[in-house]
Amino acid sequence: MINTEQTKKLLLELKLQGMAATYESVLGLASQHQPSAHELVARLADAEEKHRTRKREQMYLKLSKLRYDCILENVHCGPERNFEKDQLLLLCDCSFIKNGRNILICGATGCGKSYLACAIGRQACMLGHKTLYFGMLRFIEKIVQTKLDGTFVKFLDQVNKCNLLILDDFGLSPIDNQAKVALLQILEDRYDNKATVIASQLPIDKWYNYLEEPTLADAIIDRLSASANIINLKGPSLRGEKLKENC
């Protein structure tokens, strides 16, 4: 006779939590409602696959360190924002990541650049793409820190392993030559292979002046814009609208 408790214990020992939970629920069914052997195996396999997918999504979301917990469905679209629904839909399958294309998001303060970038990041995590988010100030600090403690190469490897890199507030903080060289190294490793999202208050035609050093500026902008989807958000500050809703 089959010892069901022993079977559940064995599934858990094998770290098959999805299977174990489904097996236990099947055992709770009346005998006439329990699935056949083939159907049971199919159910157990499907449950385990879904469990592992959810676990992977949660891990990727945690590691991404996204600034906002938001979804693409909540992103405002319309002509007043210069961002239409069909543009949003093109982002949903994250095919730009597989194709190694970048996304450059520009717009005034509060227009939703960071929100959109984080929504893209969350969608990427949900579809199984490793994602990393940095505000530019934190990104520059990380470069300085890893250069000092000798872990810069490890940091480069960590960034290179992620399918999507998000750099927020580009152009907001001064960037020294060391950070520019590091940024170029990272973009060179990712070029035409992995995706980068940049969110910036500065229009793209102002990035050259922001980067200052001509040779580095040319190289960085070339690697960012060569295969990029450009989104120029417009409209009033969404932070102001949110404040009005809460008053």
- The domain that holds 162 is classified in CATH as 3.40.50.300
Question: What angle, rounded to 10 degrees, do the helices at 85-92 and 113-126 form?
Answer: 30
Contact 193, 161 (CB under 8 A): no
Domain that holds residue 40: 4-63
Q: Are residues 151 and 29 in the same domain?
A: no
Beta strands in 54-129 (DSSP E): 102-106
Q: Are residues 40 and 85 in the same domain?
A: no
Q: Are residues 15 and 123 in the same domain?
A: no
Sorted by sequence, the CB contacts under 8 Å of residue 142 that are 6+ apart come out as 134, 155
Number of structural domains, the chain? 2
Distance from the Cα of residue 92 to its chain's centroid: 12
The string of DSSP codes covering 43-64 is HHHHHHHHHHHHHHHHHHHHHH
Instruction: Note the pLDDT tens digit of each residue in 70-107.
Output: 999 999 999 999 999 999 999 999 999 999 999 999 99
Question: DSSP label at 75?
Answer: S
SS3 of 140-164: HHHHHHHHHHCCHHHHHHHHHHCCE
Instruction: Note the pLDDT tens digit of each residue in 157-199.
Output: 999 999 999 999 999 989 999 999 999 999 999 998 999 999 9
Beta strands in 80-124 (DSSP E): 102-106
Q: Are residues 54 and 107 in the same domain?
A: no
Q: Are residues 46 and 119 in the same domain?
A: no
Q: Are residues 180 and 125 in the same domain?
A: yes
Instruction: Note the pLDDT tens digit of each residue in 33-52.
Output: 888 888 989 988 988 888 88
Q: Are residues 178 and 221 in the same domain?
A: yes
Contact 124, 163 (CB under 8 A): yes
Last residue in a domain, options 40, 63, 86: 63
Q: Are residues 94 and 213 in the same domain?
A: yes
Q: Are residues 160 and 229 in the same domain?
A: yes
The two structure tokens encoding residue 75: 């992103």
Q: Residue range 9-28: average pLDDT?
A: 87
Q: Is 90 helix (H, G, I), strand (E, B) or coil?
A: helix
Maximum CA pair distance of the chain?
A: 78
Last residue in a domain, options 63, 85, 108: 63
Q: Are residues 56 and 176 in the same domain?
A: no
The residue with greater pLDDT, 99 or 27, is 99
Last residue in a domain, options 63, 81, 105: 63
Q: Are residues 35 and 110 in the same domain?
A: no
Q: Are residues 88 and 14 in the same domain?
A: no
pTM of the model: 0.83
